Amino acid sequence: MSTAGIQSTISADPAVRPTHDVAILGAGGLTGRELLDLLQAHPGLRPRFITSDRNAGRSVGEIFPQLEPAYPELCFSAHSTDIPPEMPVFLAVPNESALELTPHFIKQGNPVVDLSGSFRLHDRQIWEEFYRLPHSAFEFMDRVVFGLPELFRDKISVARAVANPGCYPTGSIVPLYLLGNLREQIQSVVIDAKSGVSGAGGRTEDAGFSFQSVYENFRAYKILKHQHQPEIQEYAAHKLAGNFPCEIVFTPHLLPIFRGILSTIVIHWDAAHIPTADSILNTIRSGAAQEPFLRVYDEPEQIELSKVQHTNYVDLAVRSRGSVTVIVSAIDNLVKGAAGQAIQNMNLMLGIPETTGLVASFA
């Protein structure tokens, strides 16, 4: 239960003094709060303009008392797009708003990371089916890069607009992608994911998220209907010749905790092409070897939320038996699943070292 694991003192290096003032639109929610929290220790990005209609005119310290010392002067403004064209923008707003704002900032030229789901899917029909909205700006879809650095680092580095991945997809796509060409031998994939309340989209005022309805309880939700399934389906196929070899089954659950997502991924291999346990493990290890935020453990029983909370890691481990492989992965939905990955993307877009503000270092 700590966050310092992701604080940076690279700033001790005068060469990387704060240079970019950034804007956070929709900074009054959990994601906005996490961005402010992490950016305290980022030497290259300084929150300068933050909006929240509900909290307009109030100081950061009033709304987030733990963050008071870091932002003694900063106050929330009412919603506004009056932002200089060079200022980097984090969008932590609902899909309806992001559908307008992301195109606006693309046109105006601001580097923008959109944390909503608005620009993550390239099949308009599927997007509108799962988000239950008409997509009013689909022509911009191809101008927004999917912000999963482990897959799209090069594209992100030259992008002006990034769609930050969903929390569930981050914990599911990365392990599947690490299987490389072995993915072609997959017969079926079943993902059972469990998230704390901060990742399950609960609003404080929803009865479904009252203490008494969550505590000493557990349930699944949006079964075969969750909008993150098509996102996993699309990007788990990255660098494959065609589509992903099967329809992925994804089931989200609500954990009576605050923070973290654990995903249990069960793969059945094509009986005619079952890879060896070693080849699977080696493929995953080599794929993860150079990645600063991936940790591969020896035993899947070692994977637990307490190891990744308040970090930008994806922890994972694998076990195989016969034609079955089980991969367990864990992330912090608010960090690698949202604000941390958004900063990682913004670092790449701005040419700042990728891990700045996310990994401490005494180098």
Residues with catalytic roles: 167
The CB-of-21 to a copy of itself minimum distance in angstroms stands at 10
Which residue type does 178 have? L
Q: Which of residues 37-76 bind a copy of itself (CB under 8 A)?
A: 37-38, 40-43, 46, 65-71
360, 316, 362, 345: which is closest to 40 by C-alpha? 360
d(CA 98, CA 111): 14
For a copy of itself, give the closer residue by CB, 152 or 313. Answer: 313
The CB-of-265 to a copy of itself minimum distance in angstroms stands at 10
For a copy of itself, give the closer residue by CB, 99 or 358. Answer: 358
The CB-of-362 to a copy of itself minimum distance in angstroms stands at 6
| Partners of 269 in beta bridges | 186
> Edge to edge, what strands does the sheet with 20-25 contain?
76-77, 45-51, 20-25, 89-91, 112-114, 161-163, 145-146
The CB-of-39 to a copy of itself minimum distance in angstroms stands at 8
For a copy of itself, give the closer residue by CB, 98 or 328. Answer: 328
Q: Which of residues 320-339 bind a copy of itself (CB under 8 A)?
A: 321-324, 326, 328
Q: Which of residues 3-22 bind a copy of itself (CB under 8 A)?
A: 3-9, 11-12, 14, 17-18
Q: Which of 97, 108, 185, 251 binds a copy of itself (CB under 8 A)?
A: 251
d(CA 76, CA 162): 24
78: contact with a copy of itself by CB under 8 A = no
| Partners of 321 in beta bridges | 324
The CB-of-331 to a copy of itself minimum distance in angstroms stands at 12
d(CA 135, CA 144): 14
For a copy of itself, give the closer residue by CB, 35 or 161. Answer: 35
Which residue type does 298 have? D
Please tell me what DSSP assigns to residue 291: -
Q: Please, are residues 167 and 200 in contact by the beta-carbon 8 Å criterion?
A: no
Q: Which of 57, 85, 94, 256 binds a copy of itself (CB under 8 A)?
A: 256
305: contact with a copy of itself by CB under 8 A = yes
For residue 232, give both structure tokens: 């996993």
303, 295, 234: which is closest to 262 by C-alpha? 303
138: contact with a copy of itself by CB under 8 A = no
| Tokens 């249990």 found at | 264
345: contact with a copy of itself by CB under 8 A = no
Q: Which of residues 260-299 bind a copy of itself (CB under 8 A)?
A: 260, 262, 264, 266, 268, 295
The CB-of-295 to a copy of itself minimum distance in angstroms stands at 8
Q: Where are the alpha helices (DSSP H) in 80-144?
A: 95-108, 124-131
Q: Which of 56, 141, 350, 360 binds a copy of itself (CB under 8 A)?
A: 360
156: contact with a copy of itself by CB under 8 A = no
Q: Which of 56, 141, 240, 249 binds a copy of itself (CB under 8 A)?
A: 249
- Give, in order, the Cα–Cα distances in Å from 227 to each of 133, 134, 167, 200, 238: 12, 14, 11, 12, 19
Q: Which of residues 182-201 bind a copy of itself (CB under 8 A)?
A: 188, 190, 192, 194, 197-198
Residues that bind a copy of itself (rule: CB under 8 A) add up to a total of 95
For a copy of itself, give the closer residue by CB, 160 or 222. Answer: 222
For a copy of itself, give the closer residue by CB, 120 or 194. Answer: 194
27, 62, 6, 3: which is closest to 355 by C-alpha? 6
The CB-of-3 to a copy of itself minimum distance in angstroms stands at 4
Q: Which of residues 203-242 bind a copy of itself (CB under 8 A)?
A: 204-207, 209-224
* Nearby residues of 193 by Cβ (< 8 Å), 6 or more positions away: 168, 171, 172, 250, 251, 252, 253, 261, 262, 263, 264
